[in-house]
Structure 1
Amino acid sequence: MANIGYIRVSTPEQTPALQSDALATAGVTKTYSDLGVSGSLASRPQLDALLEYVRDGDVVVVWKLDRLGRNTRHTLTLLATLAERGVGFRSLTEGLDSTGPMGRAMITIIAAFAELERDMIRERTVAGLAAAKARGRVGGRPRALSSAKIEFAKMLRLEGHGAQAIADELGVSRASIYRALAG
C-alpha cells in the first residue's frame, strides 16, 4: 500500500509548492504533477499516468478535491473508478478519506447531491426549451438560405451554373448550396 499524490496547477505562473508540501506532510511517497494544465481537460498526462500506476490498496491523495476532476461528474467518475480498482482516496483540505466508513458515506452523499444537481439542470433545460417552443422559437442555428433563395439556387443549377458560382451569387458557402440542392 502506497500513498500516491496528485498535484495540478492551472497556469505556468502558479506554483505547486503548497500542494507539494501538504502531500509530503501527509506521507505521500510518489507524486504526479500536471503543471499549467487546465482542470477542464478530461485527459491530463500525469493524471492518466497516475491512474495507470495505482494498484489495489494504494491511496490517491490530493491537496483539495477540485484538483482532481474538471467538474463534479468527472470527479465522481474518477472516484468510482478508483474504488472499483480497490484504490482509496484522500482529500486533505476537505478531510475526505474513502478508506474509512465515514469517508465513503460522505462521498456517497456528495454523489447524491451531484446527481440531484444534474437532474435539476436537465429539468430546467427541458422546461426552458418547451417554453421557447410554445412561443414559436426554434433552437439551432438560423438557416443560411430562405425558401425563395433555395428555389433561386435550383433555377440557377438547372441553367447550368456550378455550385461555387451559385454560392458566390447568394453569399453562402458551397456546402450550403449542396445541402439546399440535396433537400
Structure 2
Amino acid sequence: MEIFSMAQNHQNEIGRRIGYARVSTDKQTTEQQIAELRRAGCKKVFVDEGISATAKLRPALMQARETLKNGDIFVVWAIDRAFRSTLDAIIFLDSIDSDGVAFLSLTQNIDTRTPEGRKWFIDTASWAEYERAMISRRTKLKMADAKRRGVKLGRPHRLTPKVTYRAFKKINCGKESITSCAKKLSVSSITLTRAFKRLGLIIQR
C-alpha cells in the first residue's frame, strides 16, 4: 500500500515520532504496520495484539499516550487501529493537542498540524465507526437468519459423543482422574464434566 510522502518529510521536526499498531486477533500480525511506522521515522512503536476494534482497554495505546511529550507526533498506520469510536478519537486528539502533540495517519493522509488535517481526522474517525456499525448489523442479521433456519452457531464441541464416552469409561473405572483426562483432551475439568452431563453420564464415586 502506498504511504503518502508527507510521512517521510520529518527532518525539521523537533520531537519524536511515536508509533502505535494494533491487530484484532492473535492470528493476525502487526509486521506490516510496524514496518511502515519504522519507515516513517518511528523509533519506538507500541503494539496491542489480540485487541478487538470495540475493546475499551488498550494497554499499549495508554502506554504510548503516557510517553508522548510536547513536540512529538503520534503515528498510526490507519486511524481505526487506534480508536473504537469517533468520541474516543476526538477525546484523544484534544488530550494530545493540549500537550503539544500532533497526530499522523500514514495511509489516510491525516496530519493534525493543519486545520484541514484536524477536519479530515474527525471525518475519517466518524466513517470508520459507521463502517464498524454496518458490519455489526450485517453480522447480527446473518446470525438471526441462520438461527431461524436451524443452523447451529458457534464453535463445534471439541468433545464429540464418542470421545466423551471413552473418557467417561476411563474415569468411571478408576483408570484416570477427571483432571488428567481433561488435560489430555486439552479442555478444562469443568468442560469435561459438562460434556458428561449433556449425555446424562454420571460418574460412580
Q: TM-score, normalised to structure 1's length?
A: 0.55
Number of residue-to-residue matches in the alignment: 157
Which amino acid letter does the alignment assign opposite residue 173 of structure 2? H
Contact persistence 2:17–2:43 (CA under 8 A): yes
Q: CA RMSD in A?
A: 4.8
Contact persistence 2:68–2:74 (CA under 8 A): no
Residue equivalent to 1:71: 81
Compared CA separation, residues 112 and 49, structure 1 to 2 (3 A) = closer
Residue equivalent to 2:128: 114
User: What is the SS of the residue equivalent to 1:73?
Assistant: coil
The percent identity for this pair of structures is 19
Residue equivalent to 2:92: 81
Residue equivalent to 1:178: 193
Alignment of 1:3-42 (within 5 A): 3-6=15-18, 10=31, 18-20=39-41, 32-34=43-45, 40=49
Residue among 117, 122, 135 paired with 1:103? 117
Provide the rounded CA distance (Å) in 2 between the counterparts of 1:125 and 1:140: 13
Q: Deviations over 1:96-116 (max 9, x none)?
A: 332443222111100110111
Residue equivalent to 1:28: none
Q: Deviations over 1:71-120 (max 9, x none)?
A: 26369757742422424324385543324432221111001101110111
Residue equivalent to 1:164: 176
5+ residue gaps, structure 1: 21-30
Shift of 1:131: 1.4
Q: TM-score, normalised to structure 2's length?
A: 0.51
Which protein is bigger by CA-based radius of gyration?
Answer: 1
Compared CA separation, residues 33 and 177, structure 1 to 2 (3 A) = closer
More helix by proportion, 1 or 2?
A: 1
User: What is the SS of the residue equivalent to 1:91?
Assistant: strand
Provide the rounded CA distance (Å) in 1 between the counterparts of 2:48 and 2:192: 41
